[in-house]
Amino acid sequence: MGIIRRITSAMEGPIPMKKTLMDAMSERVLVSDGAMGTQLMDAGLEHGGCGALWNVTHPDRVVDIQRRYVRAGADCLITNTFGGNGILLARQDHLGDLAAVNRAAVRVAREAFDGREGFVLGDVGPVGGLMEPYGDLKPEDVRTAIRAQVRALVEGGADAIIVETQTAMEEVEIGVRAALEFGAPCVIASMAYDGSPGGGDFMTMMGVSPGEAARRLVDLGADVIALNCGTGVDMAAAADIVATYRQSGARFTMAQPNAGLPVMEAFRTVYRQTPEEMVAPLPTLLDAGVNIVGGCCGTTPDHIRAVRREVDAWTARQH
């Protein structure tokens, strides 16, 4: 009997497979993390500095931030690669570091779980401009920049790709196609909406409604239709948007609202919504059928801890 067969016969049953993100979403509501940019600045990142580069130069500081979210109850960590695409890295003279930065980000996030079950979502943020004919970015350059980032994140072992804070369908579709092309285990497409002054009537900056976004992204093959950031998008508004996503064919949904509206203090943007205020409408969002809930701008580990408590309480009431 060969060595491989001897080892196999000595095992009791098959080797357990790691649960996928979609398996987990089918079983329970997951909690994601909160803001990264403000946490990086609190850790010493200079204004205008390349936060994504910290995955290589200061991985200890990044893992410390993400570990605090895990200890607050996060099941999912979004990699520190919001600005890790080819266009933004080129502007900061770090294009040559793209693959290393994105692969390191997956490794750092995985480390933050300290061996616990958790899911690493490879973050693909906006390229920082508009494509022709609305702006001066050439579609092929955007496609090249995003494909390179997505490939590095998938090769680094991300459990999903999240193309986030998107306002134009043309850009989010490039990201989704790249994630599908490189075999991402799960593809998340997250749009940023703004509400009208009186509330409701949410649209992206480029005039895309939640229903239109969901229909197009579901048809394209995205597994999770999400929302994050935006003006006036709190937990209650997120519930309305998630309900629209569901009606438009989304199987899985994700919501990461901001901690209220921003205000300026001492030349710095701050968010004043407390954890308790933020999660007060969360049961409505959970009732709407959200599968992953976390936070975006202004949210801290304390906000995520409150989200965890509310999700656990809501789950207990379902049984």
pLDDT at 137: 96
pLDDT at 3: 36
Q: Is 121 exposed, middle or buried (0-12, 13-18, 19+ CB in 10 A)?
A: buried
DSSP assignment of 127-150: -SS-BTTTSSB-HHHHHHHHHHHH
pLDDT at 265: 73
The domain ranges of the chain are 28-317
Decide: 35 and 74 in contact? Cβ < 8 Å: no
pLDDT at 248: 96
Distances (CA, A) of 158 to 107, 253, 310: 9, 19, 27
Q: Is 64 exposed, middle or buried (0-12, 13-18, 19+ CB in 10 A)?
A: middle
Length of the chain: 319
Q: What is the second-level CATH architecture of the domain 28-317?
A: Alpha-Beta Barrel (3.20)
pLDDT at 200: 66
Return per-residue pLDDT of the chain as tens, 319 residues. Answer: 343 333 333 334 444 568 999 999 999 999 999 999 989 988 999 988 999 999 999 999 999 999 999 999 999 999 999 999 999 999 999 999 999 999 999 999 999 999 999 999 999 999 999 999 999 999 999 999 999 999 999 999 999 999 999 999 999 999 999 999 999 999 999 999 998 755 568 999 999 999 999 999 999 999 999 999 988 889 999 999 999 999 999 999 999 999 877 677 767 777 788 999 999 999 999 999 999 999 999 999 999 999 999 999 999 999 8
* Structure-block tokens of residue 306: 């409150």
pLDDT at 217: 98
CB contact set of 268 (below 8 Å; sequence gap of 6+): none
List the beta strands (DSSP E) in the chain.
Answer: 30-31, 76-78, 119-124, 160-166, 187-191, 224-228, 252-256, 262-265, 268-271, 292-293
pLDDT at 245: 98
Q: At what angle do helices 139-155 and 169-181 cross, to 10 degrees?
A: 40
pLDDT at 47: 85
Decide: 167 and 140 in contact? Cβ < 8 Å: no
Decide: 231 and 261 in contact? Cβ < 8 Å: yes
pLDDT at 281: 96
Minimal CA–CA distance to 312: which of 16, 96, 30?
A: 30
CB contact set of 48 (below 8 Å; sequence gap of 6+): none
Decide: 187 and 150 in contact? Cβ < 8 Å: no
pLDDT at 9: 35
Decide: 220 and 176 in contact? Cβ < 8 Å: yes
CA separation for the pair 120, 112 (Å, rounded): 10
pLDDT at 14: 46
- Count the Cβ atoms, other than its own, within 10 Å of residue 11: 8
